[in-house]
Amino acid sequence: MRRSLLFIPGNNPAMLQNADCFESDAVIIDLEDAVHVNEKDNARNLVHCYLESLTEVPMEIVIRINAPDTPYYEDDLEQVVSEKIDAIMLPKASPASCFLIDQVLTIIENDKKMNKKIGIIPIIETATGVLQMGEIAKMPRINGILLGAEDLSVDMEVERTKKGTEIWYPRAKLAYTCKALKIDAIDTPFTDTSDNEGLKEDALKAKELGLNAKAAIHPNQIDIINQVFSPSEKQIIWAKRILKATEEAQAKNLGVFSLDGKMVDKPIIERAQKIIKMAQKYRLD
């Protein structure tokens, strides 16, 4: 049910300080690409101490750790896994790496006697990853998948464009995979931070295909992303009418009924409920 996730460089105290002010549904604190190899230790300690200092956590916290084929991932997990975070984002994910992280998380959660079960958000950024998407999505703890189109297009040896034709297929596959398993389909970031029109178009393309969220690499992108992936006023009004009609129908013991000439059955009602739930969560009504 997330709409926007903002990447924040893990070694940047000024940005960490404001992480809870940017109004994204989640922040992805990045220990991987945003942190130079020589500063991995610094970033890890900073994120650890930052998390330790938090008393209230107004948004979801996701940590992008370094991939398991690096020497950093174990220390990353040891330092960041706590009740304060919600999910680990896993670069260049494969079924094997997801499985491994699941195991390590279980050990750490037990050691730290945690009540919370930390989720995993794999990043699909290789051709193999795209093919394995179905398998990956079924791994334990997965509650969303991020498409990483920059690295993917390098792997595919195609040009990465604003038009996005080159990622039409992985986007579509992501939409179906995630919808089938009821997890978040998170679109790749739009890298031109000065082009708000382009960002909106790109986000709408993803939405049209059935993705429900998008990662942001700059706080100024969040407003637009939230807008695109929020239910519209029209949809909220529709949903309210559906639920009201459902109540009335139930009171009259009607099984199936129609509204505006269209049949209202269980999937429609569930859709309406989901919209209202989202509207309430994001205070849209």
Residue 52 contacts other proteins per CB under 8 A: yes
Query: If we measure between CA atoms, which residue out of 57, 95, 62, 67 comes closest to residue 81?
Result: 62
d(CA 231, CA 281): 11
Tell whether the torsion through CA atoms of 163, 168, 170 and 171 is positive or negative.
Answer: positive
User: Parallel, antiparallel, or unpaired: how do β-strands 87-90 and 119-124 relate?
Assistant: parallel
The region of 15-23, 105-113, 140-148, 235-243 touching other proteins under the rule CB under 8 A is 15-23
| Shortest distance in whole angstroms from residue 241 CB to other proteins | 22
Residue 37 contacts other proteins per CB under 8 A: no
Residue 7 contacts other proteins per CB under 8 A: no
| Shortest distance in whole angstroms from residue 22 CB to other proteins | 6
| Shortest distance in whole angstroms from residue 40 CB to other proteins | 10
Instruction: Identify which of residues 45 and 191 has a Cβ nearer to other proteins in the complex.
Output: 45
CB atoms within 10 A of CB 208: 10
Binds other proteins by CB under 8 A, chosen from 160, 223, 230, 268: 223
Query: If we measure between CA atoms, which residue out of 92, 91, 95, 88 comes closest to residue 117?
Result: 88
CB atoms within 10 A of CB 50: 18
Residue 48 contacts other proteins per CB under 8 A: yes
Instruction: Identify which of residues 24 and 212 has a Cβ nearer to other proteins in the complex.
Output: 24
d(CA 102, CA 118): 9
The region of 100-108, 120-128, 214-222, 236-244 touching other proteins under the rule CB under 8 A is 214-222
The region of 138-146, 175-183, 216-224, 253-261 touching other proteins under the rule CB under 8 A is 216-224
The region of 18-26, 89-97, 103-111, 129-137 touching other proteins under the rule CB under 8 A is 18-26
Instruction: Identify which of residues 196 and 235 has a Cβ nearer to other proteins in the complex.
Output: 196
Q: Is 255 helix (H, G, I), strand (E, B) or coil?
A: coil
Tell whether the torsion through CA atoms of 235, 5, 281 and 142 is positive or negative.
Answer: positive
Residue 3 contacts other proteins per CB under 8 A: no
Assess contact for 35 and 12: CB atoms under 8 A. Answer: no
| Shortest distance in whole angstroms from residue 89 CB to other proteins | 21
| Shortest distance in whole angstroms from residue 271 CB to other proteins | 25
Binds other proteins by CB under 8 A, chosen from 49, 96, 154, 172: 49
Assess contact for 158 and 164: CB atoms under 8 A. Answer: no
Query: If we measure between CA atoms, which residue out of 227, 236, 234, 229 comes closest to residue 273?
Result: 236
Size of interface with other proteins, in residues (CB under 8 A): 22
Residue 41 contacts other proteins per CB under 8 A: yes
CA–chain centroid gap for 208, Å, is 17
d(CA 281, CA 279): 6
The region of 9-17, 146-154, 169-177, 273-281 touching other proteins under the rule CB under 8 A is 9-17
Binding stretches for other proteins (CB under 8 A): 13-14, 17-18, 21-23, 41-42, 45-46, 48-50, 52-53, 55, 218-220, 223, 283
